[in-house]
Every structure is written in C-alpha cells, then in structure tokens.
Structure 1
C-alpha cells in the first residue's frame, strides 16, 4: 500500500537522523578500513600460499634433478635398495674386491688415504651423486617426499618406500606440477616429472606445511583484524569527537540567538580550517540577519509614520468640516482628500515595488522601449504642472529592453525629485554609446553633499526632512529607482553638475536593435 511505504520511508529517514554525525563517520571509516584490511589480508594469504607453493615446487624440482642425475650417472641401482629392487650382485662383489684391494695397498699411505678419504667423505655427504644409496634415500623415508621411476611399459621400476603400495602415477607435463595423493596418506604432494635414460621420473613434496602455515596465519589475522578495527573505531570516535567539539559549541551559541539578541556573535575558534570558516560564515549570516531586522524595523516605523501623516491630515480636515461646516468648503475638503489619497497611493505602490525587490520577484516584462519618448512625455508633464523651465535639448534617441511601466515610474521619480529641489530649471539628457543608454536628470538647486550621495538611495532617507515631507516626498522614490535599475541590469548614481547642483545618472543596457 502507498501509505505503508510512505510511513516506512519516513521512519527510515527519522532513524537516520537519530544517528549522530559522529557515529556515521565512525561507522563509515571503520567499514572502509575493514574492507581494506580484509582485501589486504586475503591478498597476503594468497601471496603467501603462492610463495610457499613455489618453494615446495622448487624443492620437488631439486629432488627430481638429483634423481635424474643419479639415474643418468649410475643407473637405477643407485636409487634402489633391497626394499625397492635387487642390487646387482656382480656390482656388489666387484665393489668388495675393489675395497679389499684398496685396503691391502701401501700401508704407509693408509693413514693418509684414510685421512683424505675422511675429508672427501665429509664433502661428499652433501653431493647427491656421491652419496650412498641409503643416505640418498633417507630424504624420501618420511611423509615429506616421494619418487617413482616408471619404464616405457608403465611399470614402476624404482620407488620410495612410501609409494610402493600404489601403482604408477600419472606424470604431469614437463615444467608443470600437479597435486598427487598417495594411498594411505592424508597429505597431498606437489609432483613434477622428467625423462632420463628412457624412464619417467616423478618426484613430489608434501604441501602439508603450506596448509599448516596458511591456517596459522589465517587464525592470527582473524584475531588481529578485529582488534585493529576496534582500535581504529575508538581512535576515529575520539578524533571526530574532538574535531566536532567546536561545531557543537557553535551550535549551542547559535541556538541561544533570538530576535532579541541578534547582535550576539559566535566566538572565533582562531583556526583557518573548515571550522574557522564555518564560524566566519555564520557570523556573516548573523550580520545580515541583524541588518535585515534593523532595516525591517526601521522600514515599518518609517512606513507607519508616512502612512499616519496623510491619514491624520484627512481626519483633521474631516473633523473640522463636521464641527465647523462654515469654515471648510466641500471643494477644499475634496482637494485635501484627493491629494492625501494620491500621496497614500504613491506610498503604498512604492512599498509594493520595494517588497517585490526584496523577495527577488521584481521581474520586468521586457519589451523594446524608446526612452526618449518617455523623457519627452515626462518633460511635457512638468511643463504643464510646474512653472519650471524644462530643457530637453540634449535628449537623443535611446532604446532599451525593459518594462515600460517600471521605467516610466523610475523616470517620474527622478523628475519629481528634481522638481522638489530645483530653483528654476530641470534638465534632461539622453545618449547611447558603447552598448549603454545614459539618462541624466539634473536641477539647479543646492545639490547633494558628497558624503550623502550614496545614502540618499536608502529607504525613507531625506536630507531635508521638513522640506521634503512638505513637498510630498516619502523618501522611497530614489530607492525605487535603484531597484528598477538593478532589475533591468543597470545602475543609478548621484553626482554634481559643474555648478554644484544635483545630477542623477541612470545607465541601462541598450537594446540590440537600438536606433543609431
């Protein structure tokens, strides 16, 4: 059922959230180390087995070489005893006669010969070709090695005692080795073979030591790996806990921050690592939140004050008209209500534009707009509503892509600001160059102090509070101009004319199909 699956997903997500970051890091690190150790241990065991196998194979090949050399040098009798095959009687008699003759030789040299013979005997004990048959076959008497010599008919003509009870074994290919089991023995043998004097010689070495060594190493690894993993887990737990301690401290400090103490900041850990950068980033975030809250409070306070002024004016006139009908005419009351209502409308409209800008939702409906037409229309409005001189002699063509309503509002705000501060003239300039359209609105008033030319674009800022409010300014006009310019990819700045009067420059990207 969908509901059950959804609840299970939510429960799984909740259980994951309940596992701390420290625990997750320790589990992940331990798992990675465990996988690495297991792979390393497995590789080590395989390499050890291969190395031991090569060692056993080399030993078997050495035994095979010794057998091959004895057979080629002295025949099969050199590797056979009474138990494995008859010794040649004539060869034994001849050897006895030769020994007797040697013993009856020069007596003066007997001691010297014996001494030399003793010395030769010592050196020949390690040479398989000069060893006696019994001495040579001693290395095959235990369960560590065996050999067989097989003739062309498949008959075993010589063998070590531990391989007497079985028939001829299959010989592995030349330069190859195979595992062989002997009847009555639990151990397996690594067997190699060679050809000598028409015989096939097989020699094998037990691999029991390989199994025992591998088993011992595996048991040691099975004990050591869990201990090592436990050590890794504990070390990781300690190191991660120590590393996350500043993060937990910052979390507690941030948790204590409320709207009443946004000025509080996180203590700098004094490091330049990720923890230090996190503290710096969080302090910057708190700075922005503090500034936003301060701006919001000031905005609400200023907006309340601005809204209260026209409402109070309308209420005052209405109360006077009701108490003294003969003092306030209907036309006068209507004019006040209409003027203050228009002022309220402009204020609310400006606040809506700024609110959209704050929420990044001030999206212009872009079309081709001829700014020169908007400038000339605004100049006509000023001529009709004011007694100021309006100079448009420097207005040239300029086309942009933007929202004609927003651009018209920005134009009107700049014009109204110039009218409020002009002594007798407002001047418009418009030109296009280097892909930019530059609109300049200036007046012949007192100008703006240089240290206030940036602050004047803040909300509800008036350089002359009383005169600006009496002139109908709300302190939002230039803020709205800046937001509209930014929304169109442009900018606005305040400067001064050659005479020191106010000059506002609005720059916007020119349309690609702009007129020249």
Structure 2
C-alpha cells in the first residue's frame, strides 16, 4: 500500500496536485469573461508593464549619469594628486576641489602620506596594497569614510622615488541617492494612479463602444419567427459595429424573405395537392355510390390521371426541397449534346413537333438527370403554349465560355411584365390557368433553380412571336 501522510492520510503528492487543481479553478473563475473586462485588464497590464520598464530605465539612466559625473570629478582629482606625489610636491594636508568629498595618499606600506582635512588622523581607507601602477574605480557604501551616502571612489596608483603611492579620491553620491529616493517615492504613487486612470478610461470607452453591440444583441434576442420584420439598430458611427448591424439587417432580410417564401410555398403546395385529391375522392365516391360497370372505365381513367398528376406534383415538390437544401451540386462532366438529343428524340409524335439545331460535342459539368430535367421542363412549357412548332437549339458561346440552350415556340408569348414572374413557383399566367393545360406552375421554377445551382442562368429573351427561353451553363474546362 502507498504510504500515507500522518495528518491527512493522503498519498504523497496528492496535496500538491489538489493545490494546483484548486489554483486552476480559481484562475478560471477570476478570468474576466466579458470583452469590456478583458480590454480593461489588457490595457492596464500593458500600461503597467510599460511604466515599469520606463521607470527602471529612467532610474538606471539617472543613476548612470550621476555616477559617471561623480566618477569623472573624482578621477580628475585623483590623477592631479597622483601627479603631485610623483613629482614630490605633495603637502600633508590636501585641499580637495569642489565636489570632492575626501582625498588620501597611502604608500606601499600602508602609511598615510597626505589626506584631506576630514580624514586627518585616519588610517588607510583600504587594506589592499596594489602591486603595480593603475586605476581602480568603484562604489563604496559610505562606511570607510563614515558617510551616510554611497561614495564613488577612484584609486590611482603611481610610482614615485620612494615606491608605489596610491591616491584615493571620492565623491559622494548623495544626489544620485536623493534622486533615486524621490523618483521611487513618486512612482509608488504615480504608477498606480496612472494605471487606475487608464483602467477607468478604458472601462468607460469600451462600455461606450460596446453599447451598440448590446443593443443589437438585445434586439436579436427578442426576434422570433413571428416578428422577422424587426431590425437591429444601426449606429451612426460608420465603424465596424455599424457595418455589423447593417450586415445583420441584411441577413434578417434574407431570412424573412426565405420564411415568407417557404410559407407561401407550403400554402401553394397544399392548394395544388388539394385539387387532385378532391377530384380523386369524388371519382371514388361516385364509383362507390354507382356500382355500374359501364362507368368504371371512365372513372378509373380519371382516377389514374389524377394519381399520375399527384405523383408528378410530389416529385416536383421533392426536387424543389432538395434544391432548397443548398447541397453541393453534382459536378461530373456531362455531354449536353447527347442529353438534349435524347430528350428531343422522346418527343417524336407529340402534338407539337420539336425542331432541333444541336451543336455537337458540348460538354458541361453537372448531372445528366438535372440537365435532362431542364430541357424537359422547357419543352413541356413550350409545347403547352405553342400553336404549331417548337425550336430546340444548342450552341456554344465561346466569348463567355457557356453552353446556350434555347427553346422557342410560336404561341402567345410572355409579356415583358411577367418575364420574371413565370419563374415563381406555382405561377400561371392568365392564358394558362386551366389545369388541363397549365400544369402545376413548377416547371420553369425548377428549371431555373437547377440552372442556378449549376452556376448558370435561365431567362426570357425578346422574341417577335411566341416565347424565347434561354439557359446558359458553364462549359467544362477540363
């Protein structure tokens, strides 16, 4: 068994792990969660770090400058005194220049040869005896000369007729010490005050800047599927938040339009499904109420027609639902020429003949089933309204890199005001409202949706007579 702690009974190492886990939980709880708090904390930390670095830099620069000036004065006095000692013109009592705190001259045996008045009768300041001429610079803490402040001391050793002589010249660093104390005392109060000011200003500014975001959030939180007409407020600042609000309103516009379209689609689909179901039910009720074998053939044929119509309508609705899911469209290389020929070949013997002008070798990317559906729906629409002829043409537009599929008929045509409305779902123009002739009103809508999903377009073009529909699809670049 693992050894246990005598007091807690915990296994060795368990307490440190618990402490670390506790600290992590505490750090997660203390971590600011709002953008405003994080911005304030970040700005305060940056300012505090910058002020700390600047303070240390300022103190170091001031210290070096004052120390360098004091050292220059001491070195100049020490060199001058050493020169006098070398020439044998040294007095026992030395008069320091202005700014010099003390002077002392010591021989190689430690005897004091000369000193400034404040060091008279004092032994040598240092027990070290240089063995060769040279200059040593250093800072003393003031004890050797009984000073409260630090001393910058320059020690110059020269050779004389009686041996080596060392000159000690020192200047007080009281100005540097006083400046350091003053700056430290000032920074102790100034830095926290400045950091606090920055934190307060950042908190207020970020709060003011984020107020429109909170208004946008509150408005979006209240918008439900029942009031998609509402829009978020757009601030007049013309900044990123204003652009965000404008984008949000544009998204709400699209969402509202999509919901309206979906609701209208459901209503129209329900209406379209209700009519054949009602007729089918009526036929079945008649067949049940009048079990006359002579009437069953007509009733069964009518019921079969309505069933086929229901099946076609259900297939169209299913295809539209798949197109509305915005799934990735198929992108296989398809021989559009062969697809168009197959659809046209199946139209032989129809009430209205289909003439063809099909260019060879036209290849696009997509699905053969989808492309055949475009051609079929366009031909269904044209044959439904044509008098005697329908033209199906396929060509290549090299300038735009598209395959152009055209369907013309010699019917009444489409008025300019209705050239976009014919692509709306369940739309029937006035001359095509008969359900025996007009279809479900989904054919052109499905054809345009497929063309759009494949990166193309479907439009109504000007024509001298009849309708002229043109579908453009990108050519296969491979």
TM-score normalised according to structure 2 size: 0.83
**1:241 equivalent in structure 2:** 207
1:164 aligns with 2:120: no
Measured after TM superposition, the shift of residue 286 of structure 1 is 1.9
Q: Structure 1 residues 213 and 65 mapped into 2: Cα distance closer, same or farther (>3 Å)?
A: same
Q: For 1:51, which of 65, 84, 88 is the aligned residue? A: 65
Distance 1:17 1:507 in 2: 57
**1:86 equivalent in structure 2:** none
**1:478 equivalent in structure 2:** 444
1:340 aligns with 2:306: yes
Measured after TM superposition, the shift of residue 267 of structure 1 is 3.5
Distance 2:407 2:229 in 1: 40
Contact persistence 2:215–2:233 (CA under 8 A): no
Contact persistence 1:372–1:396 (CA under 8 A): yes
**2:153 equivalent in structure 1:** 191
Distance 1:331 1:380 in 2: 32
Task: Flag the structure with higher helix content.
Answer: 1
1:431 aligns with 2:431: no
Contact persistence 1:397–1:430 (CA under 8 A): no
1:375 aligns with 2:340: yes
Task: For structure 1, list consecutive stretches of 5 or more residues without a partner in the other structure.
Answer: 82-132
Contact persistence 1:320–1:328 (CA under 8 A): no
Measured after TM superposition, the shift of residue 24 of structure 1 is 2.2
Q: Structure 1 residues 137 and 370 mapped into 2: Cα distance closer, same or farther (>3 Å)?
A: closer
**2:458 equivalent in structure 1:** 492
Contact persistence 1:53–1:207 (CA under 8 A): yes
Q: Deviations 1:247-293 (Å, cap 9, x if unpaired)?
A: 22333333332222222223443231223222222221221122111
Aligned alpha-carbon RMSD (Å): 3.3
Contact persistence 1:447–1:496 (CA under 8 A): no
Q: Structure 1 residues 32 and 469 mapped into 2: Cα distance closer, same or farther (>3 Å)?
A: farther
Q: Structure 1 residues 22 and 63 mapped into 2: Cα distance closer, same or farther (>3 Å)?
A: same
Contact persistence 1:440–1:506 (CA under 8 A): yes
Q: Structure 1 residues 512 and 242 mapped into 2: Cα distance closer, same or farther (>3 Å)?
A: closer
Measured after TM superposition, the shift of residue 176 of structure 1 is 6.0
Q: For 2:102, which of 126, 146, 150 is the aligned residue? A: 146
- Aligned ranges for residues 309-458 of structure 1 at < 5 Å? 309-326=275-292, 329-364=295-330, 366-384=331-349, 386-434=350-398, 435-458=401-424
**1:177 equivalent in structure 2:** 137
Q: Structure 1 residues 11 and 504 mapped into 2: Cα distance closer, same or farther (>3 Å)?
A: farther
Aligned residues: 446
**1:250 equivalent in structure 2:** 216
TM-score normalised according to structure 1 size: 0.77
Q: Deviations 1:76-104 (Å, cap 9, x if unpaired)?
A: 12xx13xxxxxxxxxxxxxxxxxxxxxxx
Q: Deviations 1:347-389 (Å, cap 9, x if unpaired)?
A: 222222222222211521x4332222222222232223x2212
Q: Deviations 1:298-328 (Å, cap 9, x if unpaired)?
A: 1111111111122112111111111123287
Task: For structure 2, list consecutive stretches of 5 or more residues without a partner in the other structure.
Answer: 1-17
Distance 2:25 2:276 in 1: 57
Distance 1:14 1:455 in 2: 58
**1:278 equivalent in structure 2:** 244
Measured after TM superposition, the shift of residue 511 of structure 1 is 2.8
Measured after TM superposition, the shift of residue 155 of structure 1 is 4.9
Contact persistence 1:461–1:475 (CA under 8 A): yes
Contact persistence 2:356–2:392 (CA under 8 A): yes
Q: For 2:186, which of 220, 230, 238 is the aligned residue? A: 220
Q: Deviations 1:213-252 (Å, cap 9, x if unpaired)?
A: 2133112201111111111111222222222222223333
Measured after TM superposition, the shift of residue 194 of structure 1 is 3.7
